[in-house]
Structure 1
């Protein structure tokens, strides 16, 4: 819990510090007041280590004045049901787009979780979430507490990771002593060249920065390079008369891919193979998220706005098909596996740990006509990581307790990650007018954290900035 001298607060990491998932950070101001930044589920190896702890909230929440949600990915909001079950009845602060997306995420999580088929309980829970939600505008301070001795304010800024994603600025001020402190929690920061969403802009200052480090040890391909890799991978499957399977999270990655695929199809022109290619989104949840993305066009970036004005529909084009019910899903899997009809299938889950993508993998991994294209982070201990690692060597993977040989082509494009790379993370710090005195690296594998720590220290030394970089551990 290393904090700068004379700090007004203490940070305890309830998840997301010792690994990549389960983000949950408690900012303790005094014995009566604290905040939670996110409350997410552990996944992959993180879940294996903390499988029991995450099903309950094992720490005191009596001082928690509010939960602040950076974005609605399940590893940032998945423990919300357990937090409410533990008695939390305070405000849930998030951006306005996140407020529209959060109920969809939680409803889906509850359907496959501890309340399967219990529609009434799900509706009661969603109503409670709705009552506690406080949607905030970006870039405006929200006062959480103002007493004779202390003032706590929160401000959300665009993070560029998924629609509605935010980084959080917290302002603390002791009324009597005039002491002040500014803390910034990055959440997940988006890559600088992501489609659809504007890149994050740095805050003016931070005394303490809690910074994600998912891709702290690597650089992404450029926008043109990754589009060329995507085009090449799909054209290879077209030549092989196979299917390209893209495991993708229902929110964020799916919509960015649709945007890029519409651009490729548009540029290919009439008469090309691309004009006959079907783009299939096999995820009811992804389809619902995509509709919300369409409804929230004002939050898109300038590039996407220009396409709309030109009459283009990047998330709703002619070659796009959605698969809704399970019967249609099973029929689609059989048809594509047997027919050799070229297609691109985008299906959840993003790390192949469950969901409809698993059925495609079972049916097609053993056939060299097909391609599996990874466009996002694959956590250690997930089937996605195993396919990514062992597939190019002709290895195998366990899916639902059965072994499947991998003969399909395996391609990874890191540039489509919704996470900032090392350059983006350094830029986020460098563009602050007043650099932080302390940085705590979270949300990353050890190798990524160590590489980013070394890069930050080298940058700080070059610019003669005194920065202490810590690698904290979870304290659940």
Structure 2
């Protein structure tokens, strides 16, 4: 059985980076993500360094372009990695945008350096179509192929099926890295389908201890939160990642506004205050062939789910400051979607500073809030009338706080169990990663019970 080393993402929900050792001379790297929240050490620069041996790494395979899966890529290239960076065709379009933004925030603002780095990155990216085998290692010792399959998490996301053969022993092994799996019935993207089977499965466990409400319920909660703001004359602040959640929310809001009978809904402003999110949304629109059947029907009927009349984008920093001031003072009802998704920086922070202390406004959490992030503190203490510290300033939370786990892009406990259950050949070893301790432990227990009911043996490795 092939060994897997974890260089991040094994005991927390960020920093995903897994190395599959094929033999002493060959290995594959699956993702190379940034640590965030409690997963990030105080000396975060040291944590960013690539301190493991990359001399055997023949390829980096990327499951999707969220920063907690690709954010250490600049450091990997700086450490001398020259091999191919394999990803899906949509990810190949999105990755340079994500890395350009990551470089500006945490690496350098020197335009010439960024351009040079982007040129190198682009030369190493290899787009692999979904469902087609791609040979990554082929020599007299081993042959290793990968296949990317849709994961339904964000546009371009995939889980990775690795087929490996050792020519000396004639042993064959199949390993699957789930990346981040999408929830069923998510807007815009088809849900992931389980593979035929594998020997080892590296499975995310973000919501291993929770079940999401169904789509009808979560849409009702979304609508209700916005109706409260319309009644109170306030703004609904939605911290959302620039890629994935933003586009899914726009899609849902277009549907609610389209069906609304109330005139106030028809005049509601939906503001995307993130140049990066606006760029991603444009790429999402270009990649319509990857949308699901429901979204295709909307397009055919002449609707524009990601480019509707009520939608406004804020680009410059000056426009951003004016928008924050205007909404805080006037109480004009609006929905503002801004990064970062865990309130760990970005433009959402200025909205929170200006409006958290005002009962007219609402904060709507639609994604996972990592331990140690301001988002988790607001989510946890806000409903009790608590406070949060932002930029050294204590802010009493008077705004309404609503959380909808159903809009998380992550599979819930049942989705994760079904991913395994629907395989014809169940894995004999499952490595649980990308989850907090409690979530991993609950999912481990559930998986072992599921195997027990079928009389099957399984080794569940929990965060090692």
TM-score under structure 2 normalisation?
0.99
Secondary structure, counterpart of 2:451 in structure 1? helix
CA displacement 1:450-476 (0-9 Å, x = unmatched):
010011111111112211101133xxx
* 8 Å CA contact 1:247, 1:347 repeated in 2: yes
Q: 2:79 — aligned with what?
A: 86
Alpha-carbon distance between aligned partners in 1 of 2:287 and 2:99, rounded to the nearest angstrom: 20
Residues 1:105 and 2:98 aligned together: yes
Q: 2:218 — aligned with what?
A: 226
Q: 1:179 — aligned with what?
A: 171
* 8 Å CA contact 1:54, 1:79 repeated in 2: no
Secondary structure, counterpart of 1:15 in structure 2? coil
Alpha-carbon distance between aligned partners in 2 of 1:234 and 1:27, rounded to the nearest angstrom: 46
CA displacement 1:204-254 (0-9 Å, x = unmatched):
011000000000000001000000000001001110000000000000000
Alpha-carbon distance between aligned partners in 1 of 2:34 and 2:423, rounded to the nearest angstrom: 31
Q: 1:132 — aligned with what?
A: 124
Following superposition, the deviation at residue 144 of structure 1 comes to 1.1
* 8 Å CA contact 2:83, 2:124 repeated in 1: yes
Following superposition, the deviation at residue 55 of structure 1 comes to 2.2
Following superposition, the deviation at residue 50 of structure 1 comes to 6.8
Residues 1:31 and 2:14 aligned together: no
Secondary structure, counterpart of 1:200 in structure 2? coil
Alpha-carbon distance between aligned partners in 2 of 1:90 and 1:54, rounded to the nearest angstrom: 22
Following superposition, the deviation at residue 18 of structure 1 comes to 1.5
Structure 2 matches for 1:450-461, cutoff 5 A? 450-461=441-452
* 8 Å CA contact 2:136, 2:145 repeated in 1: yes
Q: 1:3 — aligned with what?
A: none
Alpha-carbon distance between aligned partners in 1 of 2:140 and 2:10, rounded to the nearest angstrom: 34
Q: 1:413 aligns with which of 387, 398, 404?
A: 404
Alpha-carbon distance between aligned partners in 2 of 1:52 and 1:121, rounded to the nearest angstrom: 19
Residues 1:328 and 2:319 aligned together: yes
Secondary structure, counterpart of 1:35 in structure 2? strand
Q: 1:198 aligns with which of 190, 196, 204?
A: 190
Following superposition, the deviation at residue 51 of structure 1 comes to 2.0
Number of equivalent positions: 464
Q: 2:353 aligns with which of 358, 362, 371?
A: 362
Structure 2 matches for 1:148-163, cutoff 5 A? 148-163=140-155
Residues 1:20 and 2:16 aligned together: no
Secondary structure, counterpart of 2:406 in structure 1? helix
Alpha-carbon distance between aligned partners in 2 of 1:95 and 1:400, rounded to the nearest angstrom: 38
Gapped runs of 5+ residues in structure 1?
1-6
Residues 1:433 and 2:421 aligned together: no
Q: 2:51 — aligned with what?
A: 58
Structure 2 matches for 1:369-408, cutoff 5 A? 369-408=360-399
Structure 2 matches for 1:142-153, cutoff 5 A? 142-153=134-145
Residues 1:255 and 2:247 aligned together: yes
TM-score under structure 1 normalisation?
0.96
Residues 1:285 and 2:276 aligned together: yes
Residues 1:164 and 2:130 aligned together: no
CA displacement 1:372-401 (0-9 Å, x = unmatched):
000000000000000000000111111112
Following superposition, the deviation at residue 360 of structure 1 comes to 0.2
**How well do the aligned residues superpose, as a CA RMSD in angstroms?**
0.9
* 8 Å CA contact 1:209, 1:439 repeated in 2: yes
Secondary structure, counterpart of 2:7 in structure 1? strand
Alpha-carbon distance between aligned partners in 2 of 1:347 and 1:334, rounded to the nearest angstrom: 15
Residues 1:208 and 2:200 aligned together: yes
Residues 1:307 and 2:302 aligned together: no
Alpha-carbon distance between aligned partners in 1 of 2:440 and 2:48, rounded to the nearest angstrom: 27
Alpha-carbon distance between aligned partners in 1 of 2:307 and 2:45, rounded to the nearest angstrom: 42
1:377–1:460 distance in 2 versus 1, CA, 3 Å = same
* 8 Å CA contact 1:69, 1:93 repeated in 2: yes
Alpha-carbon distance between aligned partners in 2 of 1:252 and 1:35, rounded to the nearest angstrom: 26
CA displacement 1:166-199 (0-9 Å, x = unmatched):
1001111122432100000000000011010000
CA displacement 1:142-164 (0-9 Å, x = unmatched):
01122223111011000000000
CA displacement 1:101-144 (0-9 Å, x = unmatched):
0000000111112212x000000000000000000000111011
* 8 Å CA contact 1:41, 1:54 repeated in 2: no
Q: 1:274 — aligned with what?
A: 265
* 8 Å CA contact 1:337, 1:363 repeated in 2: yes
Alpha-carbon distance between aligned partners in 1 of 2:383 and 2:199, rounded to the nearest angstrom: 45
* 8 Å CA contact 2:196, 2:423 repeated in 1: yes
